[in-house]
Amino acid sequence: MDTNVLFIFILAIFVGFEVISKVPSMLHTPLMSGTNAIHGIILFGGILVLADADTTLARALGFVAVIFGSANVFGGFMVTDRMLQMFKKKKQP
């Protein structure tokens, strides 16, 4: 593996952790719902890796990317739905 790619990956982990750790807790739900598009791109990228996988390592990494991307997309939509349910008016008995 190219060392530049590995360096960028590790740097992205640290930058992502620092950015997310500075977000106030009351903004985590809107932030998660706003990043569903990014998770969709990860899911699409994992599918592309799986489609062009020649080695076992590429297949394994593509599979893991598809599983994690799917979990993030569906979890994000579930959290968004719960958030939106809080703003619906409750029926009066």
Q: Whose CA is closest to 62, among 74, 73, 51, 75?
A: 51
pLDDT on residue 57:
87
pLDDT on residue 19:
81
pLDDT on residue 29:
64
Contact 65, 42 (CB under 8 A): yes
Question: DSSP secondary-structure letter at 90?
Answer: P
List, run by run, the mean pLDDT of 10-residue segments along the chain (93 residues): 81 85 72 71 82 87 85 80 78 75
pLDDT on residue 1:
58
| Helix ranges, the chain (H) | 3-21, 28-34, 36-51, 56-85
pLDDT on residue 33:
64
pLDDT on residue 6:
84
pLDDT on residue 91:
77
